[in-house]
Amino acid sequence: MGPRDEIRARGFDGASGRLATAPRSTWDRIGPWLALLAVACLLFQAAWRANSQWELGTRGEIGAGYTAYYVRCMLEQGWSVTRGAAVARLSAGDPPHVELQFHHPALYWWYHGAWAQFAGASPLALRAAHALLIAPAALFLYALARRFLAPIGAGAAALLFAAIPLVGYWAPMVNQDGAVLTALLGALLAFQRWREHASTARLAVFLAAVAWAANLDWLGYACVPVCALWTLGDGGFRAARRALAAALFVELGCIALFALHARLALGAWADVGHELARIAMMPDGPDIFGALGTPGPTSIATPQHLGLAEIARIVGTLGLREFDPLLLCGALLGAVALWRRRGARRALVPLAALASAGLWNVALFPQHAAYHEFWLLASAPAVALALGALFDVLFTARGPRVAALACAGVAALAAHGIGDTLARVEERRTTSFEPLAALLDAQFGASDLVCMPIAVPQILPLTRCQLRFDCRTPEQLRIEAQREPRPAGRFVYVLARPAEENEWTRRLAAQHPLHANDGLHWFELDPAGAW
């Protein structure tokens, strides 16, 4: 009986969730080393261009800019002021205007804030802290893949996971998405280990992993449905329902913890309810980019109020671009290989469970999905496992020559994916806010005070002029004019839109000339004057 016949004869073990594989061979000994190589590839891509320009240095345009800015505010204002929330003091006055970011749970901010206390908030320091959160993802994926692939196939899955451009470019972004991906894989691995040998200790590890994921980002709440879908492949849902119920209880507790933390930071339960409602009913489209007159973070146009068919088309286009068509074709062949392997078809269900993880945010916030391509990151492990299944067949069932060719194929695909990632880093060096920062620097100097009616904290590290945000009324502008010490240069009010017109701007236009250059429109005001 050959290795392939033995696999078919033994099939998928429903009790443990493992697909019995062929006896260990020379190729199998390479598997763990490929997993370690995958970690090295993730860290290499995370470090690429790490100490260059700010937005490129933190990778990922808008999301990374938010993290950097809020962590810096934590350092400047202190935890006693921010209460561990993502707080930005955007203007002076009594009381000052303060913005609180409750679109995400606070654990990710706490992690970076604690790190920054010792290492600072430079792009390099933030990137290093985030790399520690994403590096274990490849090892977790390898351990999960061993449940239904031989060691060499699991190692190939881990390496190709690190080589997917969506992972190589977006996972190192200093934002919650890469961190919560690792947490999801860790929770799923802990769940599977509990299923293989139920014990109180393993259940506690699983529940702790669920709590970690849920407090990192909202996608962490997908742990329970993903784990439930995972069990359908071997009919183990009934045996796991108590553990899943306990995990659901933990997630409800995390929501209560989020509300309590928001209450401490905001000071009123009514405001907490408002923030939660705002999260649940996200706005229909990117308003800030239209307000600035600059392109959004993706090269695909995203008008407001998109229909579901248009959203599906955009998300499909983004997925094809970010996953890489060649790697997606390989994953499709791997799924076919699993389907044709007798006794292994049920392993397609865990793949489908992993693939669903990247669609939860898309389903909940479809309008935002049109310009949040990194939300698909959580589906990358499923693509990698399908690729691993393809090479698992070649390594274990076709003889030494085919196995050698398969090894070369893994190396070629990994090199192709990583090369694609590095090319994307170079192509995307200009971010959405760089054009605005360049316009501001072309007109204003370091001693000029520039007030704006909207809040764009992401451009602060990109420009030399001093910015004040959310100045929408004469009273707010007067607070900034009287702030001490006031810069010695010009006092400027920049319009959010060239065509913006209201009673106040009409009054300003009647008293002061409206300056315009390269799409930037502003008034130069006398700080002591009346507007």
Could you read off the pLDDT of 386-403 as tens digits, one per residue? 999 888 888 776 677 777
Instruction: Express the helix, strand and coil content of the chain in percent, nearest 5 each.
Output: 65, 5, 30
User: What single DSSP character describes residue 147?
Assistant: T
Q: What is the pLDDT of residues 342-367, one digit of tens each?
A: 666 677 888 888 898 888 888 877 77
Residue 106 corresponds to which tokens in the numbers above? 């606070």
Which of 429-439 are b and which e, b meaning 16 or more Cβ less than 10 Å from the residue's Cβ? eebbbbbbbbb
Q: Report the amino acid identity of residue 15.
A: A
pLDDT for res 158: 95
CA dist 433 → 303, 307, 429 (Å)? 18, 27, 11
Q: How far apart are alpha carbons 211 and 221 in whole angstroms? A: 9
Taking residue 78's Cβ as centre, other Cβ atoms within 10 Å add up to 10
pLDDT at 529: 67
Tokens of 270: 């009514």
**Residue 410: pLDDT above 80?**
yes
pLDDT digits (tens, 9 = 90+) for 165-187: 999 988 988 888 899 999 999 99
Token readout for 501 is 């017109």
**pLDDT at site 201:** 94
Please give the residue that has the higher pLDDT: either 279 or 10: 279
- Dihedral sign, Cα of residue 327, residue 333, residue 336, residue 338: negative
Q: Which residues pair with 468 in a beta bridge?
A: 451
Helix (H) / strand (E) element for 274: namely helix 269-280
- 498 Cβ contact partners less than 8 Å away, ≥ 6 residues apart: 293, 516, 519, 521
By mean pLDDT, which of 268-282, 417-431, 494-508, 509-523 is the weakest?
Answer: 268-282
Which position has the higher pLDDT, 469 or 87?
A: 469
Give the Cα separation of 84 and 70 in Å (integer): 10
Q: Which of 42-46, 125-129, 505-509 has the highest mean pLDDT?
A: 42-46
Q: Taking the chain, what is the end-to-end CA distance rounded to the nearest angstrom?
A: 90
CA distance 14 to 238: 13
- Radius of gyration (Cα) for the chain, nearest Å? 26
List b or e across 210-236, with b for residues whose CB sees 16 or more CB atoms inside 10 angstroms: bbbbbbbbbbbbbbbebbbbbbebbeb
As a whole-number percent, the residues of the chain with pLDDT over 70 amount to: 73
pTM assigned to the model? 0.77
For residues 36 and 50, what is the distance between their CA atoms, to the nearest angstrom?
22
